Amino acid sequence: MTVALIRPLVVRTVAVSDPDDLLARLPDAAPYAWIRHGEGLVGWGEAARAAVPPGPGRFDWARGWLSSLFAGARIEDEVGMPGSGPVAFGSFTFDADAAGTVLVVPRVVLARRNGRAWLTTIGDGAFDLVTPPSAPGRIRYGDGSLSAPQWEHRVARAVRRIRDGMLDKVVLARDLTAVAERDIDPRVLLERLAERYPECYTFSVDGLVGATPELLVRHTGQAVESLVLAGTTPRGAHPADDAARGAALFASQKDRHEHACAVASVREALAPLCSALDVPDRPELLVLPNVQHLASRVTGRLSDGASVLDVVAAMHPTAAVGGTPTGAALRVIRELEGMDRAGYSGPVGWIDSRGDGEWGIALRCAYVSGRRARLFAGCGIMAGSDPASELAEAQAKLRVMRYALEG
């Protein structure tokens, strides 16, 4: 079902003075956000919304809906930068056959980038009252779809599948439930995440809130960029321990192979779309407050001016969130994971009327509704994986959203 609140869209973008703190400008109602190092976009209200039908053609449907919507809009844009003019925020489910993919064009978008700031309004661009965010209070946690021992057992079964030659890698996710003392204000989570994890992309789309370290694609004109993460270790207890863990991760045959699989899947997806593609020979170490990752930044130039959604469609699901080979990994996920991921590990981000945008993989995130939240984490399972170690890695990743809830 598709709902358009204002049709045709009447859009106006004007330059404004630097808002300094984008998140502080968000009202209480259903915030939209995409922030890194204080730059990005925040939005509120709804000028248009689409519930994207599930199925293999969902990205084509989404692009067609947006093209029609934006083509009929009356746009006055005095800024002319990626993210100015009308912008849609979106969240795609991990599984193409699952319902829940959504695109929303906010009534108001406030943005800052590269020393410039702008405000986009659609229609009357209603400015809701900004009230101070309030903390959710005490948090109680419970098992999600599987208990920790049950999940370890599923990991062991996945390892056996890999050792039997059915596949090279599979990513298994687990969830955790949380119930707060009071309603959870997404703005509190966004502020905490943006402050503690400035290197990540802090996002909020239709109740899905998180801070992902993984940039699926940045599309500016014909330039594309992707940050591939695969291979993880927790941070150390002190600097020497931290350095030793990083060195062990870099030297780990298991983690290097997992990372190579992820990079290969991105190369294979981007190569047909690009006239030039630069893929690093070896990964770097990305150090975050809770974990360290093996990371590779892939850059390229599109050969045909494809929309960012075309690139997202070609890349999802990457080996970093699904596995290799993709078909076999998805079958094992459906057999063993025991839950619906919804938007977790699916593409999340924004797109403007020029086809530019930034999309990440929805990691380190939770679905928030009232007093309840559903937290997610996932681990890449290889032939040498140990279930207890994978559980510890998942728990380290869950600490991101636990911190966001607890402060």
pLDDT in tens, the chain (407 residues): 455 455 689 999 999 999 989 999 999 878 999 999 999 999 999 999 999 999 999 999 999 999 999 999 999 999 999 999 999 999 999 999 999 999 999 999 999 999 999 999 998 766 777 889 999 999 999 999 999 999 999 999 999 999 999 999 999 999 999 999 999 999 999 999 999 999 999 999 999 999 999 899 999 999 999 998 888 888 888 999 999 999 999 999 988 988 888 898 889 989 999 999 999 999 999 988 888 999 999 999 998 778 999 999 999 998 889 999 999 999 999 999 999 999 999 999 999 999 999 999 999 999 999 999 999 999 999 999 999 999 999 999 999 999 999 99
- Provide the token pair at 106: 């906010």
Helices (H), 271-344: 308-315, 326-336
Burial of 343 per CB tally in 10 Å (0-12, 13-18, 19+): buried
Q: Is 214 a catalytic residue?
A: yes
Q: Cα–Cα distance between 397 and 214 in angstroms, integer?
A: 13
Q: Of the residues 169, 191, 358, 393, which is catalytic?
A: 169
| Residue 86 · residue 120 · CB < 8 Å | yes
> Helices 148-163 & 387-406, crossing angle to 10 degrees?
140
| Residue 216, token pair as written in the block | 């699926």
Contact assessment for residue 178 and residue 373, using Cβ atoms and an 8 Å cutoff: yes
Q: What CA–CA distance (Å, rounded) separates 95 from 345?
A: 9
- Residue among 152, 191, 214, 393 flagged as catalytic: 214
| Residue 397 a catalytic site member | no
Tell me how many degrees the CA angle 118-123-126 measures, rounded to the nearest 5: 75
pTM of the model: 0.93
Question: What is the spatial distance between Cα 324 and Cα 340, in angstroms, rounded to a whole number?
Answer: 20
